[in-house]
Every structure is written in structure tokens, then in C-alpha cells.
Structure 1
Amino acid sequence: MKPRLSHNLSIKCFLSTSILAAPALFTGVLPAPAYAQCVSTAGTVAIPANGATVTCAANTTSTARIGDSSTTATVNLEDGALLDTSGGGTKAVWLNNATVTLGTNAQINSGAEYAIHTANGGTITLGNGAQVNSASGSIFSLAGNLDVTLGENAQINAGNIGIGGLGTTNITLGVGSKIHSTGIFGIYNKYSANITLQDNTEVQGSNFGVRSTVGPIDMTMVSGSKIIATGGAGTGIWASTSADTITISGYVKGGAQSVFLWSGDDILTLNTGAELVGDINGSFGTDTTNLLGTGAEDDNFLNFETLNMNGQEWTLSGTSTFGTANINNGILRNNGAITADAIVSASAAFGGTGNTIGNVTNSGTIKPGASIGTQTITGNYVQNAGGALDVEYSAAAVDLLNITGTANLSGTLNLSDLSGGIASGTTYTVLQATGGVAGAFTSVNSSVFINPVVTTNANNVQVTLNRIAIETAAQTSSEQSIAQALDQAFATNPAAYASIDQILNSAADTTSASNLLASQSGIIQSSSVSAGLNALNQNTSIAMGRVQAPASGNTPLASIAPAAGGSDDEENIIETRKNSGVFWAQVTGGGGKINGDRQARATAYQTTGIAAGAETDIDSGAKIGVFGAFAVSNSEIERLTDTATTLTHQAGLYAGKRYGPFNLSASASAAWLEFETARPTTAGLASADFSGLGGFAQFEALYNRPIENLNISPFIGASGALLHHKSYQEQGAGVLNLSIDDSTTKKLASEIGAASAATIDTTDQSWVPFETLTPSMRLSWQHEFLDQSAQTQARFASAPAIAFQSQGAKEDRDSMKIQLDLNAAGSNAQYNTNYYISYNGRIASDAQDHAFTTGLRLNW
């Protein structure tokens, strides 16, 4: 009868240690166990049977070797477990085929022998922070398929080989993991291998970082990974004799060579982040280098047959050999020497200061120099119809395409000014060909202010740069004023104003040039002044509405509508305004536009604000009050991104008196204004903060003419305004900053028109929550006696000699004004409250503005 012990789990765990010590005790009684545990004594943990599992418990230390090379087993080191055979000088794990898993921070150490050695491959997994350390080799397989995975921050440290396999090998390094060998190999494999290095990983060996023989290998290095050969004659990556594929976005360093591809038909791909230290040798076979993303290499590419540029931007500065260089996309700069026939595709560019030893066929763009410099072709040059040669120039130098063979030309010549200050008539040589020039450029592109004359000679191409007047781009008289000042300065001493000239020459077309001139003319300053004057007028109109007849929902000194059923004589006019005091407040919002003309571009503004005041009766026919107002105006210019904000702080007096059928009203106020302007430019944001003072006065005389329940009252009036701002200088745009002189803008206008109003008694209408409703209207014609456009006297802060004057768009002197109001009056035992809404508009042939107001009045 078999003992029941074989079916009891707790006893099984006990036997896992005792059976190994005294197996004869139970011979013939129990079946061979399929598990074992690590022990803390020297010796060997025998594997009971193929497929058995050996466990090193968490946070324990074991010193016995596992296996004797003949069996297949699974070895688990739980978290924190340590298997250390370094004292006995033996291997730590020695199996035929092994599945070895190290938990988090688990560790295997061996001495002069391999830490993990298999005869026929296996799967080795290192958890996060786990380590395998050996004075010899850490992990090695004699044959079969070896799969090794390192978790985050895992480490393999070896004295000879970090990981080695004589069969096929698959290795993945997790983030932050390391393989360090102070001996020959970091990684060695004989047959095919797949190797992946993730971010912040590192493989290091003395002679080789990675070494393969038969192969092939497929290797991927992400950005931040490293492969290093520490020896002075070492090689970072030594590939196999098969067709290898290596993709690098990391760092590879060798003492002699960073990459050696040996004899296969290999593909090396460099992507953004790739950095190679040491020559890159294609060696034998047909080898290809692909460039993706962006990067730069100053080492030598040797013995390659093909270069494919498919990235965005790469620079090669070494001495390199490619049979053919296909520049398919982006820009490749050769700042060294490349031996290859280069083919530049339509969407690509080829440039630099180096020498291309071979023929160049250009269907894309050739860009000589690093900025300004010489690009040499030791061979022949062909520019097809779709090709272009980009040439940059300054006052002192010019790009040059230097060809030792022949040049066959077609396509486009593009000219770019990098410095400005070019004297008109300057001649440059942009291409020379020792073997002769055939054909010619079919089109030439340059600055809108340069007229290039291209001369094709027997062995060179020359360009004469003739200046075009900047005034030709001006579309208004304000733009013309600054353009004439610039033309005069450039004609006299162009070098002195080179920086300004270069910015003008960078304009893409005449429209862009006109926009630049418009912005530099200071038109945004004129717009901010116009917005400020409009705010002064708008705020004054609100106050005048308190004493005009009728106006703004603010019932006048006395109602101008006869009492229901009464006559239109003065005694029968309803008295509604005999109050000891009145407080009122209202908000307003609106906007306007001044159309563009030959003088300046159109400008638009939007204004919001609040006004409040208090008043008292002097006698039955007279009233006087004070008011304060605050308004925010935002301005912009047609087809520009220039902006201005104007803050208006205004305070004043208003008064009115009735003399029989006549009503006289007047207002006077002063204001402090704050201005902020911003002009985006190619040199930065030109911004300014400055202040000003303003004043506004208005007078009106009106004749009350009641007709039954309606009143039509003619009136005449006059108004005057003044706004003065201080001088200021812009900041933030370098040579394009403007210095603006102080300026005063004045207005003086007359007005003639008629007002009409009617009062509707609603006391007998229970559904109406007011006692009276009073609609009113004012219609008038206004004539301006002075020039209404704001003027700007300005100069370049960096070049005070370039001074000019500009002004805003000119408005028609005659305009129509219209005002519509609705007043609703209610009362209680103590207060009389009025609510009102109003529209004010001014319409001219070339300008208009509109404002809407709402508010309330409390009488007591």
C-alpha cells in the first residue's frame, strides 16, 4: 500500500528538501518528484526529471548550483532571491535547456564559470532590477534558440561575454537595463538574431559591443540607447556575413569603427537621435544607408553602394563613399567629401560647403554653402527644367556653385538677400564650370525690390543686382511717405541701413511689401487716436442727452409733448422734471469704420463703456449736472494684424435752460487717455504704451414746436474736440521700432437738424408696468470744418534720419446723424424711475459709426 504522504501538499514541501538528502529512504515507495528547491549549502541541486521546476524562495540566499547540464528545467528566483556560486567557482545554472525567470531585484552570481549556461537554448527573463553577474560569461547557450529579456533597470555584468549564443538569439533590453562586459563581447551571436534596445539601455564590451558571425541580425536601437566598444581598437556593432538590417536612433561608439557590416547585402538606417562615433564601414556586399528624420554625422561612411536620403534634414561632414546618392526628400548637406553620383528629386534639396566627387543631376534644389559659401562638384552638373539653384548673397559675399566639369542649365535661379545694403548695380558670380556652361536658367526669382540681370558666359553665370524703388509697392500716400524716405536713404548710403533693407527685401511679393510699409507708417497710432475721439464724442452725447430736448431717453427739462386733450401753449406743457436731484447711469457699446482711401487703409474700432452722473434743478427751467465716463476702444487695420487699445477716462459738466419755447444746452469735459499699440513684425512685436489728454465741448439751441400730441423741434449746434498724445518709442522689434512724435488732433463741426417726440400716457393700461412711454428721434446734418484725419510724424528708432509723415484715412466733411430713443417712466411713493434705450448713428459716404445705449434714471 502506497503512503498517503504523496497526496499531502504540506508534506510535499517538506520533502522537497529531505528527499534530496536521503533519497534511498523512500526508494520504490514515492514517484520521482517534479520540483526542487534551492539550498544554502554548497553542492548541486539535482533536477529530478526533465521539465522539473526549481524555486529559490523570495529574499533567500542559495549557494548550490542548479543542474548538471543534462536535463531540462524551469528555474524561478522569486523577488529578492539570491543564487550565488561565486565562492565555489562553479556555474550557477547549468542545464540542457532552461527557462529561467528572475523576479524583481533577484540576482544570480557566479565566479570563473558562466552564471547561466545551456547546451540547447532556453528562455531567460530578468525582472525589474534583477541582475546576472559573472567573472566570465553571464548567459551562454551552445546551440538552439536563446531568448533573453531584461526588465526595467535589469543588469548583466560579465568578465568576458554578457550574452552569447551559438544558435539563434533573441534579445530585448527593457528601459534602463544594461549589459556590461569588461571582456571581449557585450553580446555575441553566431546565427540569426533579433536585438532590441529600448530607451536608456546600454550594451558594452571591450572589443565588440555587439558581434555576429553567420547571422543575419535584425537590430533596432531607439533614441537614448547605447552600444559601446570600450577598447581602443573596438567596434561598436560588427555585423554578420549575411544580409543584416540595423536601425539606429541611439548612440554607437567604437575605438576604430562604430559599425562594420562585413560581407552581407546590408541595410543601415539612421533616424533622429542617431549618433555614431567611429567610421561606418559597409565593407563587402551591396550595402545601403538610409537617412530618416534629422541628424548629423562627422565620421566617414566607407564602402557603401547606395545612400537614400528620405528624412527632413541631415548633414554629413566626413569623407564618405556611396556609389549613388539618392536625395529623395528633405535637405542633405555635404560639408565634407562624398564620392557618389547624386540624384536630387523634385521634393529634395542638396547643399553644403563640401565636395561631391561625381556627377550631380538636379530636379529639386541645390543650396550652396552653410548660409553663404561654396559647394563644389568634381564632375558634371545637370539642372533639369524642374530644378532650382538657390543663391544667397550679402553686401560682402555670395553663394557659389563650383563645377570642375560641365554645367547644363535649365530651370530656376532663386536669389535671396541675407544682409541688405546692396549697392545698385552690384555684380556677383553665382556659378562657374571649368568644362563650360550650356543652356541657361529659364526663370529668376528675387526680392520685389531687386531687378536681377543674369548673364550666361562660356564658363560662368553672373548676376547684376539693380535696385527697384520701394515706392513702387506703396498703395497709399502714407505708405508712399515712408517709402520715399527709405529710397532716399538707400540711394545715399545703403550699407548704413542694411538691416532695414534686408527685411524689406525678404517680402514675398508686392502685397507683402505694401503691408510692411503700411504697418511701418504708424497707421495704428492714427487709428487709436480716431477711436479715442469717437469715445469722447460718444460719452459727451450721453451727458448732453440729459439736457437736450428730446434726447436719449433722458426726458428733457420739461416734456415737450402737450398734455392729453390740452392746447400747445407753454402753460399746458406737462412738467415732469421738477426734482431736487437725479442720479443716472448707462452702459454703451458700438463700433465704427473709416473706409480706406488714397491716404490710408481702412480702420475699424469697437467701443464699450459706462457713464454715470448726477444733476439738480437750479430753478424751474434750468438744470446743471456732472458726469464721468470710462470707455475701452479696440482698433484694427485692414489686411494687417496691428492692433490698438484706447482707454478713455472722461469727466465733465453739462447744463440746460428753457427760455419759453427755446431750449439751450451745453457740455464741456476733459479726458485722460491711455494707448497701447502692437505691431507684429518679422523682427519681433513692436509694442508701445503712451498717454494723452483730450477735451470735448458741445452747444445746442432748440426751438420747441408742439403740434397736438407730437413735437417737431428744429435745432442748431456746434461741437469741438481736441486730443493730444505724448511722444513715445516702440519696443521689441529691433530695427523696425518706430519713434513717434507728440501730436494734436482737432475737430470743429456744426450741426443742424430736427427732433421729434411724443409721450404716451399708459396709466389706464394695467398690463403696462410704466406710467408713460416716450419715443423720440433726432435727425441732423453735420459739417466738419477741419481735416478729420489724425496725423503721425515718425522715424525709425534705429535710424532717426529716416523720418516720414503719415495720416489716417480722410473722412467726408459732411455726414448724417440719427438718434432713436425710447423712455419708460414709472414711480412709487418716494422715487421716480426711468428706463431707456437709445441708438446713435453717424453715416458719411466713407465712414460710419453706431452705438447702442441702455440705462436708468432715479429722481428724488
Structure 2
Amino acid sequence: MSHPSHLPPIHDIPLNDRKNTMIPTCRKAIVPLLRASTLMVSMLSGYYHRAFAGTCTGAAGTYLCSDPANSTMDTEQTIDIASPLTVTTAAGFGIDTSTNGGDALDFRAVGGLTITDTNLSTITGSYSGILANNSSSEVLSITINGTVTGGVHGIFARNYGSDLNISTADVTGGTHGIVAFNSGSDVDISTADVTGGLHGIVALNTGSGSLSITSSGTVEGAALYGIKANNAGTDLNISAKNVYGGVAGVYADNSGSGALSISTSGTVMGGIMGIYAINYGTDLSISAANVTGGYDGLAAINITGDSLTVTTSGTVTGIGGAGIYAINLGGPTTITVGSSSLVQGDGAGIYSYSGYGQAITITVDGMVRNLSGSPSDDAILAAGGPITVTLNSGSITTGVVALGNYNDTINLAGTLNGSVEMEAGDDTFFLADGGTLTGTADGGAGTDTLAFDNVGTVDGSRYLNFENLEIFGGNSTLVGTWDLSGGTATIHRGSLSVNGSLFTSLLIVGKNGLLGGNGNIFSDVKAYGIVSPGNSIGTLTVNGSVDFMPGSIFNVELAANERSDLLKVGGAVSIDHGKITASLERALYPDGTRWNILAADDGIHGRFSSISSNFTSYTIALEPVYTGGSLSLVVDRTPYSSFGASPNQAAVGSALDQILPSAQGSMTDLLLAMDFAMDPAKLSATLNGLNPEIYTSFAPSGLSIAGTFNRMATLRQQEFYWTPVTVDDDQKQLWSVWGRAIGSRLDQDEENWISGYTVDTGGTVFGMDRTFGAMVRAGLMLGYSSSDLSWDKLKESGSITGKHIKLYSSARFEDFSLDGGLGYTNLDNSVARFIDTPVFSSRAVGDFDSNVVDATLSGTYNYSFGNLLLVPTASINYLYLDQDGFTEQGVDDFGFHIQSKVTDTLSGLLGLRLSGLFDGGAGWHFHPTAGLDLVHWFKNDAMELNANFVDYQVNNFRVTGADPVDNAMLVSLGMSADYNKSLTLFLNYESSFADGTTTQMLSGGIVWCF
């Protein structure tokens, strides 16, 4: 952009004494004569002794100005002494010489001049309101809290002493509001409102001290400058609120040895410049709110000084040039646009230049733009440097940011509605989290670096002439073509997904970085961090080599359909103690499921040291399998059956192993939980909860119940030995009717992890038999039973209802007898099985029938010893059970179908029974009995059931019941009493003892013979 080389000519006030140079010579002669004539007229007319308005009187350097203003009578009050002078005002003082001409107050002193008004006086002069001149040492001090007005100057102060201090309220001058010349030391001007036709305030300090101007109101110089300050001393400080000037609102020229500081809090406006500051001293700093200039809003030039600092908090506008024009030839430049600030210009929002090696720092928290609002026009122009432009979060910059030929940096965290142009030099463009670039970024010549931090998706067509890429955090995705030929891409932190094509000489994945994507990388890759192909499931192609360094991680995602991430390498893969992390989708995986995750054309050298996954499982493990230039992950399952604490639990687990490939519905949910949510204890508990082994208890229980009723027939047959077959030749008492009540308990101990159980049975038996000839008696027995089953460690309960029928007969041949029987039992079985697992609990119901056929044959021989009878016994017993198949109800997928079962037993018995006969008198006879039998089972197979889950009929498994007994010992005691051999009462107790099994039975009944 072009810029004016100089400002328009400035109308300087002559530095010599105004009255000695600007008043004509004839006026110098006439003025004393006029004053004398006035005095004489006054004396002659009698007015001399009246109180004149607006007069200053005193002596010996101390004067008091009193009386109110009178524009008709007031004349210039002049005090000119060759010594220090102090002037104060009385209350009500005022002066107005606008009619009679001249200054209102003209004070001259040598050695110090002090003018103090604390009475809100009104001072009006035709030429100057106050003219003050201190010709020698000490301070020139003017303090006015009233109003000062002059036709030319409001206040004109010239000091040759030490300090010049001016403190005023409102000051107005036709040409200048306040003019202050100082050849002493410090100048301090403090005002409220100041107005001048040319300048508001003109201050020139040629002394040895500082120049300070403070305005709390409005300062206006209509034609030229609101504030014009020239300093040749030390520091120049300007602090103002509102300033207006025809050329510039504030013009500051510091040629002194100190700093130049300008601070404005209101509105500053100038026809050419809002603020113009040029500094030859040390630091130049400007802090401004609202500034408007016809060309530049704010121009700051630091020629030979140190730092240049510009800070804005409002709207800064350069209508024809730049909003901020900052040149520093002596040191670093710092420009800060506040969060509530807008900087705009026709040529550029900001233009800055510094010498090479002098840093420029531009920070934007608010808005910067070209007045056109076009993204193709300049927003920020900067040259020299190095330059750092930071567009912070929340900022909005509209236009082009163009930098020079040094090693420059742009940090974009806000919004840039435009482009970036960086010329020669090793530049850096950093697009940060939340930053937005709507145009392009051109790195220009040199070795340039592009840096991203969580920028989302970026297109390579918008980033030109960059050689290096650096990732500093978050997630960044490259699409399109990225040509970084000759440079390096480095992922320091965060993730980089390459979904396009990336050309670079080397891509480095730092230890805190991640590389992913579905694109192509045309370079070698050296990984210290994570390489994770794909965006979800995908293939990342590297046309060079890949080196996995110590600490690196190869991360892959595995899907249920055997799809997986794949790293496809055109060169070789080298592995140096890296590890694999696998993310496995939650699904069911049969043993041997395989995913190909790495393929290298030139082979794989080395091995990953370990593999970890996103899941904890005691049934699934992932094993790496290296085959030439390929690496696969393969599922190595631990069977569910291995978690069974018993053979039956293992059998259930084996069925689940078979079901797994075809599982669906609730079964899938259960198996998923077993694979991904259960430890070994929970897996075992699940198998135990599903285990249907309780059904193996029903067959042996049914056989036992049938055997119990078979025993009732045996007891009836034993009673025949005490009942005469015939009484006399008339065949009396041929028939007998009998009945028994039965109670029994079977206890099966737990063994081999198979739960023990108890069967409690109660029932009744009714029979009728008769004699046939002298040797044979035969009969029929009917019975009913009800049994309850319970298991030692389970909540299950079962019941068996039995209906029994049996034919029995006995034949006697002297002391030898032969007994036989044939029976049938129908059993109605029901069970409530509680399925209790770590995942769910439910209740299954089963109902099924069993049928038992039994046959018994026994022989005895009687040895009589008086009233005692010793009877050796031998018998054989066969039981056949046919159990129906059935399907559990109430548990859907987890119910079982139990297949039908046929089983039989064959046992033999050898025993000895001792009986006695005792006469009780009155027709009663008592028969105590004791017996001891040994039973051996020739055939008694373990109860085995085939089962399957209801929806998986082909996946059968077998559960086995408790081991059957081979031998048992039966102990029996009995007592019967008959009356006249026609009525018999009896009571029997039996107990059977076997390994793990105990049976007890108590029965009692009655026989009536007729």
C-alpha cells in the first residue's frame, strides 16, 4: 500500500516573545499614551476613586485580582516585574477585554511566576486570555479552575526557568486553545475542555525534562491539531479522552532522550491522522480506544528508539490508508487488538514494518479488516521482522494476511475470512483448535512449516508451498493431495488421519502421536507412537517402509465379519519391540477366526513383543500369526467346558461351545457375557446354573420307589409262614385282605461334584390273596405313593406320584418255599428347576412320566428250633424303567429338551431271617422278626441323560447321575400280632446301607383272614 511521506505543513508558533515580534512598532508607542490618557480622564471625571471591574493590584511580587468582569470598562491587566511574581484571584473576580482589546491578563516575571485561580473566574481576552512569561529560573505555574477565552490564544505560556505547569478547566482560543513553550525542565499540562481554531493544545519542550499532557475532557483544533506536542527533553506523555483535529487529533513528536507514550480513552479524530506519533527517543507506546483518520487511523513511527507498542480497545479506522500504521526502525514492535476492538482501513487494517532482525508481534483478540470487507483485500500487511501474527480464539479477521521475507509465524485460533500469503523465509502457519481459514495459505519460498492442532478435516488444495507438517494435538484429517516433497511430517501429539495422498520424505509418529486414515502415504514412516490404519475399519497404504520403534503401538480394529484394519506397506516392515493393541467388536467368534492386519511386500522383520486388547476375556485370546510378509490375528478360544467344576457342568459348556457359531437371540447375549464379562468363577457359576443334572435323580428315585412297593409284597409273602394254608378239611380261611401304610426316605450323598438328593415317600398298599390247594397262595397288590425330591445345594424341588400294581404268589414244599412276583409302577414326575447365573435368573418347569416293571423270584428254607424259626433266603430282582422325554417350559432359549431314557437293574440277595412265635394268651400270638440281607447288583448302570437346548437340537450333550451302588446291606426288624389267626397287626422297619446311599422304611398294617 502507498503511504504519505510527510504530513501537511504545520503552522508553528514563533518561539520568541510574541509581543516583541507580532505587535507593530507604532502600537508599542501608542499603548502607554492611551493608558495615561485614560488615567487622567478618570481623575478629572471623578471615577478614579471608584472600584474598577477586573483589576489586579498588589506590590512586592504579590498581586490579587478582584472585582467582576465588565466588558465595557475592563482593560488588559499587565504586571511586568524583574522578580518572582505570585498572582491570585478573589472570589467573584472576572475580566473581559474583548471590547477594549489586548490580553485579559499579561504577567511577566523573573525567577518564577505563579498564577492561581480557585474561584471559578471567567477570564476573557481580546487577544489572549492569559499571557504568562517567566524569564529566568524557577517554575511557571498556571492553575485556573474557571473559564479562559482568548481571541487568538486561550493561554499563552513561555518559560525559561525550570518547570512549566498548567492546570485548567475550560480554555478556548480563536487560534490556539493553549500554547506552552518551555526551555526549562519538565512541562505538565492538565486540562478539561480545550478548543482552538488551529490547535487545541500546542506544547513545545526544548528543556531538559519531560513533557506531559493530560486531558479529561474534549480537545479540539479545528484546522490543524487537537493536540500538537514537540519534545526535545526526555519523555513525552499524552493522556486524553476526546481529541479532534482538522489534520490530526493527536500529533506527537519526541526528539528527546526518553519514551513517547500516548493513551486515549474516548474518541480521537483527524482529517488525515487520528493519532500521529513519531519518536526519536526510546520506547513508543500508544493505547487507544476509538480513533478515526482521513488517511491512517493511527500512525506510529519509531525512528531510533527501542520498542513500539500499540494497543487498541475500540474502533480504529483509516479511511484512506491503514487502521494502524506502525513503523519501527529501532526495536521490536507489538500490536494488540483488544477483544472489543475493531481495526479497519482502506489499504489494510494493520500495516507494520520493522528492520530485519527486529521482531513484530501482532495479536488480535477482536476484529481486523479491510474497509471493503472483501476477503481478497489486505487485512494485515507486515514486513521486516521476524513477524508473529496471532489471531486468537474469538477474533475475526477479514482479508489477506500478507507477511514479508523473514522467518515469520501465523497462529490462527480465530476466524480468518481470507487467505495467508507468506513470502521468502522459513515460515510457519499454525492452525489451532477452533481456528477457521476460509481461503488459502501459501508458505511462499523457503522451507515452510504447516502446523495443525485439532483442526478436523483439511483439504490439501488450500495449503500451498509448505515443506513440513507438524501435528500438535487433537484430531486432524488430510483429504486431497498434500505435496510436502523434500520435507518431513511429524505427529508430536494428537492424531493425524491421512484420507488423501501425502507426499513427503519421512513421516514421524512421535511417542504421543497417532497415525491413521484410509489414504496413501508416499514416504517412509518411522513410528514411536501409535499407527492405527483406517478411520473405523479401513486400509492405510504406505508406499515406502515402516519402522516400529521401541515403545510404538500398532493399533487395529477387528469386526465380527472378519473385516479389519490393514496396514499395507510397499516396502519392508521393521519391528523393534513394539506391541499390538486390538479393538475387538463385541460379538461371538468361533475358534480360529482370522483377521489380516499387516501386509508388507518386502517382508516383516522382527516381531511385536506383546498384544493387548480392549477387552478382558477368559475364553478368547488373540494370537499373532506371521506368514511371510503377512501378519494375522487369530482367535484362540478356551472352551466353555474347561470352566466346568464337574463333568456335567463341562458337558453343558461343551454344548455351548457347539452352539456358539449359530447362536442367536438370548443365547447370543449369554455367550457374549460369558466371553466379555465373566471371570472364571462366574463362568463356572453360569455352567452350574444351566446344568440339568437334577433330572438324573428321577430314574434312580423311581426305581427306589418301585422297589419299596416290591418290598411290600415280599413282607406279605414272609407272613405266609405263620399263616396255615388250611385249618381243617373244610378249607376255612382261604382269603386274606391286608393293607399297609408306608413311609420311606432315600438319602444320596454328593459325590464327584454331583449334588446329593433326598427322596421322602409316603404311600399306602392294599392287597388280597387266597390259598390254592395245600401248597400255593397268590394275590394282587395295589398301591399309591407320593414322593418329594430335594437337592442338597440347590433351590430346585421335585415330586413323583406313583401308582402300583403287583401279582405275587408263594409255594411251600415242606420246609422249602418259593416266592415270586410281577409288578408295574407308573410314575408322574414334575420338577421346578431354578436357573441362577450371574447374567439372569429364571425358573424352568418339567413334567414327564416313567414306567417301571419289576420281577422277583426268591427261595427260602426253614429251620425250626422250637418257637424259633431261622430262614436263609436267596432272591433275584429285576427292574426295568422307561422314562419319557420332555421339554422344559418357561425359560425360552435356555430350556432343555431331555430325551427319553430306558434303564434296568438286576440284583441278587442273600439273607438270614430269625423269627419267633410267642403265645400271648386269650387268642393272641406275637411274632418278632429280625433279618440281615446282603444285596449285590449285577447290573446297575449310572443314570445318563441326553439333553439339548430347545432351539439347538443337534447340539446334544450328556449328563450323568451319581455312581450307582454295587453292594448294600439290609437290616430289618418286625413285629406282628395275630388274634385267633384271623386278624393280624404288624409293624416293620428296614434300613439299607450302601456306599453314599442310605434308605430307611417304616411300614405298618393289618391282615384279615376269612
TM-score, normalised relative to structure 1: 0.51
Q: In 1, distance between residues paired with 2:153 and 2:590? A: 104
The residue that corresponds to 2:573 in the other structure is 407
Q: In 2, distance between residues paired with 1:109 and 1:426? A: 79
Match of 2:293 among 134, 137, 148: 134
The residue that corresponds to 1:7 in the other structure is 114
The residue that corresponds to 1:333 in the other structure is 497
Q: Does 1:107 align with 2:267?
A: yes
- Identify which of structures 1 and 2 has the higher relative contact order when contacts are C-alpha pairs closer than 8 Å and 6+ apart: 1
Deviation at 1:459, TM superposition (A): 4.7
1:640-659 alignment, distance < 5 Å: none
**Deviation readout 1:340-367 (Å, 9 max, x if unpaired):** 2112344543222232220012343210
Q: In 2, distance between residues paired with 1:202 and 1:334? A: 34
**Change beyond 3 A, Cα 1:70–1:497:** farther
Q: In 1, distance between residues paired with 2:622 and 2:517? A: 24
The residue that corresponds to 1:147 in the other structure is 309
Deviation at 1:115, TM superposition (A): 1.0
Deviation at 1:263, TM superposition (A): 2.2
Match of 2:204 among 49, 56, 63: 49
**Deviation readout 1:85-131 (Å, 9 max, x if unpaired):** 4xx4x32222224532123xx111334x221122338755546xx31
The residue that corresponds to 1:387 in the other structure is 552
1:445-464 alignment, distance < 5 Å: 445=612, 448=617, 449-452=619-622, 454-464=624-634
**Change beyond 3 A, Cα 1:456–1:156:** same
**Deviation readout 1:52-77 (Å, 9 max, x if unpaired):** 44444337877562355855753322
The residue that corresponds to 2:448 in the other structure is 287
The residue that corresponds to 1:779 in the other structure is none
The residue that corresponds to 2:458 in the other structure is 298
Q: In 1, distance between residues paired with 2:211 and 2:347? A: 34
Deviation at 1:217, TM superposition (A): 1.9
Q: In 1, distance between residues paired with 2:426 and 2:681? A: 57
The residue that corresponds to 1:850 in the other structure is none
**Aligned-partner residue type, residue 357 of structure 1:** F
The residue that corresponds to 1:94 in the other structure is 251
Q: In 1, distance between residues paired with 2:597 and 2:639? A: 24
The residue that corresponds to 2:317 in the other structure is 157
Check conservation: 2:596, 2:632, Cα contact below 8 A. Answer: yes
SS at match of 1:311: strand
Deviation at 1:401, TM superposition (A): 0.9
SS at match of 1:420: coil
The residue that corresponds to 2:877 in the other structure is none
Q: In 1, distance between residues paired with 2:150 and 2:687? A: 100
Deviation at 1:46, TM superposition (A): 4.6
Q: In 1, distance between residues paired with 2:648 and 2:147? A: 99
SS at match of 2:143: helix
SS at match of 1:47: strand
Match of 2:408 among 232, 240, 244: 244
Check conservation: 2:644, 2:687, Cα contact below 8 A. Answer: no
**Change beyond 3 A, Cα 1:24–1:418:** closer
1:136-215 alignment, distance < 5 Å: 136-144=295-303, 145-151=307-313, 154-159=314-319, 160-167=321-328, 168-181=332-345, 183-191=347-355, 192-195=358-361, 197=363, 201-205=366-370, 206=374, 207-215=377-385
Q: In 1, distance between residues paired with 2:685 and 2:341? A: 58
**Aligned-partner residue type, residue 157 of structure 1:** T
**Aligned-partner residue type, residue 13 of structure 1:** I
Check conservation: 2:315, 2:341, Cα contact below 8 A. Answer: yes
**Deviation readout 1:417-442 (Å, 9 max, x if unpaired):** 12524454443332233445455555
Check conservation: 2:200, 2:219, Cα contact below 8 A. Answer: no
Match of 1:83 among 243, 267, 271: 243
Q: Does 1:311 align with 2:481?
A: no
TM-score, normalised relative to structure 2: 0.44
SS at match of 1:359: strand
**Aligned-partner residue type, residue 368 of structure 1:** P
Q: Taking every aligned residue pair, what percent have the same amino acid on both sides?
A: 22
Q: In 1, distance between residues paired with 2:587 and 2:467? A: 44
**Aligned-partner residue type, residue 568 of structure 2:** N
**Deviation readout 1:495-554 (Å, 9 max, x if unpaired):** 9977776676666xxxx644876999999xxxxxxxxxxxxxxxxxxxxxxxxxxxxxxx
Q: In 2, distance between residues paired with 1:188 and 1:55? A: 28
The residue that corresponds to 2:564 in the other structure is 398
Check conservation: 1:219, 1:245, Cα contact below 8 A. Answer: yes
The residue that corresponds to 1:21 in the other structure is 152
**Deviation readout 1:449-493 (Å, 9 max, x if unpaired):** 445464444553344445443555688999989977865653323
Q: In 2, distance between residues paired with 1:349 and 1:143? A: 48
* Higher deviation after alignment, 369-378 or 398-407: 398-407
**Deviation readout 1:600-659 (Å, 9 max, x if unpaired):** xxxxxxxxxxxxxxxxxxxxxxxxxxxxxxxxxxxxxxxxxxxxxxxxxxxxxxxxxxxx
SS at match of 2:446: coil
**Change beyond 3 A, Cα 1:48–1:386:** closer
Q: In 2, distance between residues paired with 1:419 and 1:62? A: 80
Q: In 2, distance between residues paired with 1:479 and 1:246? A: 69
Q: In 2, distance between residues paired with 1:75 and 1:309? A: 46
Deviation at 1:27, TM superposition (A): 7.7
**Change beyond 3 A, Cα 1:432–1:27:** closer
The residue that corresponds to 1:365 in the other structure is 530
**Change beyond 3 A, Cα 1:156–1:436:** same
Match of 1:492 among 623, 639, 662: 662
Q: In 2, distance between residues paired with 1:312 and 1:361? A: 20
Q: In 1, distance between residues paired with 2:218 and 2:557? A: 69
Q: In 1, distance between residues paired with 2:476 and 2:685? A: 38
SS at match of 2:237: strand
Q: In 2, distance between residues paired with 1:92 and 1:252? A: 32
Q: In 2, distance between residues paired with 1:304 and 1:385? A: 30
**Deviation readout 1:122-164 (Å, 9 max, x if unpaired):** 755546xx3113353211124434311234xx33233341212
CA RMSD of aligned residues (A): 4.8
Check conservation: 1:148, 1:170, Cα contact below 8 A. Answer: yes
1:672-687 alignment, distance < 5 Å: none
Q: In 2, distance between residues paired with 1:118 and 1:278? A: 35
**Deviation readout 1:192-231 (Å, 9 max, x if unpaired):** 3443647x523233533332211112344443334332xx
**Deviation readout 1:293-325 (Å, 9 max, x if unpaired):** x44351434444444445365444454344122
Check conservation: 2:367, 2:396, Cα contact below 8 A. Answer: yes
**Deviation readout 1:154-194 (Å, 9 max, x if unpaired):** 33233341212121421223343332335433343344344
Q: Does 1:227 align with 2:397?
A: yes
**Change beyond 3 A, Cα 1:505–1:131:** farther
Check conservation: 2:472, 2:492, Cα contact below 8 A. Answer: yes
**Aligned-partner residue type, residue 530 of structure 2:** T
**Deviation readout 1:678-732 (Å, 9 max, x if unpaired):** xxxxxxxxxxxxxxxxxxxxxxxxxxxxxxxxxxxxxxxxxxxxxxxxx999xxx
Deviation at 1:379, TM superposition (A): 1.5
SS at match of 1:8: strand
Check conservation: 1:740, 1:794, Cα contact below 8 A. Answer: no
**Change beyond 3 A, Cα 1:226–1:336:** farther
**Aligned-partner residue type, residue 251 of structure 1:** G
Q: In 2, distance between residues paired with 1:146 and 1:29? A: 32
| Larger Cα-atom Rg | 2
Q: In 2, distance between residues paired with 1:408 and 1:173? A: 52
The residue that corresponds to 1:116 in the other structure is 275
**Aligned-partner residue type, residue 243 of structure 1:** N
Q: In 2, distance between residues paired with 1:338 and 1:520? A: 52
**Aligned-partner residue type, residue 237 of structure 2:** T
Deviation at 1:403, TM superposition (A): 2.0
Q: In 2, distance between residues paired with 1:271 and 1:477? A: 63
